[in-house]
Amino acid sequence: MIRLTGITKVYRMGDEEVHALAGVDLHIAANEYVALIGPSGSGKSTLMNLIGCLDSPTAGSYVLNGRDTSHMNDTELAHVRNQEIGFVFQSFHLLPRLTVLDNVAQPLVYRGIPRAERQARATRALEQVGLGNRLGHRPNQLSGGQRQRVAVARALVGKPSILLADEPTGNLDSRTSAEIMALFDELHASGQTVVVVTHEPDIAAHCRRTIRIGDGRVVDDHANPPREVHA
């Protein structure tokens, strides 16, 4: 599904060069549940932006579902991104004036899907995250955890092959964080490929595989021990 080969990313600022990624080789198969961890500045966000087709590498190749994206222009990359990737961010990024239903339906507008079908699909996505009874609410009438569920529903409504979450629990307390991760656990169990960028070990422990980034390289990559299931 995701195959990165020899990926480097160099940011140029005047005469300065920052080597944010320095030769990353990575394969993530369909239905994996992966945590990307590492200290601040190690290159996690850069790697996420590349995997999410928000940015292109300086060198190396990125093949996503059989398509080599390395030489795509911005328009082609945006097309792949809209088809393949569902994003969840730390800060939710919901539109405050829209209802929960319209926030979730929004990504389908750009695909030319008729309004009735948009609303039906958004309703189903909201039911999937346990918010079928909040369709007409505005984001500010919801708790942080509920807002993040709305963001997850919005990420899922286009049926992306990859759910990509950048510090999805960074603005949530520990109980609410655990609820959001339980939702990701369920999505993974139902077949969704999930990649979570985090610096919190408790969050990474929900995933089945942990990839540690350090100084722009993969410094560790291991399967996580099975989690204890509490009855």
- 158 contributes a contact to ligand ADP by CB under 6 A: no
Q: How far is the CB of 17 from ligand ADP (least distance, A)?
A: 9
Residue of 33, 35, 43, 84 that binds ligand ADP (CB under 6 A): 43
Site for ligand ADP in 74-93 (CB under 6 A): 87, 89-91, 93
Compute how many other C-beta atoms are within 10 angstroms of the C-beta atom of residue 191. 8
Contacts for 173-180: CB closer than 8 Å, 24+ residues apart:
173/144, 174/202, 176/143, 176/144, 176/145, 176/148, 177/202, 177/203, 178/202, 179/145, 180/145, 180/148, 180/149, 180/152
Residue of 42, 128, 177, 210 that binds ligand ADP (CB under 6 A): 42
Q: How far is the CB of 110 from ligand ADP (least distance, A)?
A: 12
41: left (phi over 0), alpha (psi -120 to 50) or beta: left
Task: Specify the residue, 88 or 101, whose C-beta has the smaller distance to ligand ADP.
Answer: 88
**How big is the chain, counted in residues?**
231
Indicate the SS3 state at residue 156.
helix
* The two structure tokens encoding residue 58: 């300086």
Q: How far is the CB of 91 from ligand ADP (least distance, A)?
A: 4
Q: How far is the CB of 166 from ligand ADP (least distance, A)?
A: 5
- 109 contributes a contact to ligand ADP by CB under 6 A: no
Q: How far is the CB of 214 from ligand ADP (least distance, A)?
A: 9
Phi, psi of 201 (to 5 degrees): -55, -35
Site residues, ligand ADP (CB under 6 A): 11, 13, 18, 20, 38, 40-46, 54, 87, 89-91, 93, 166-167
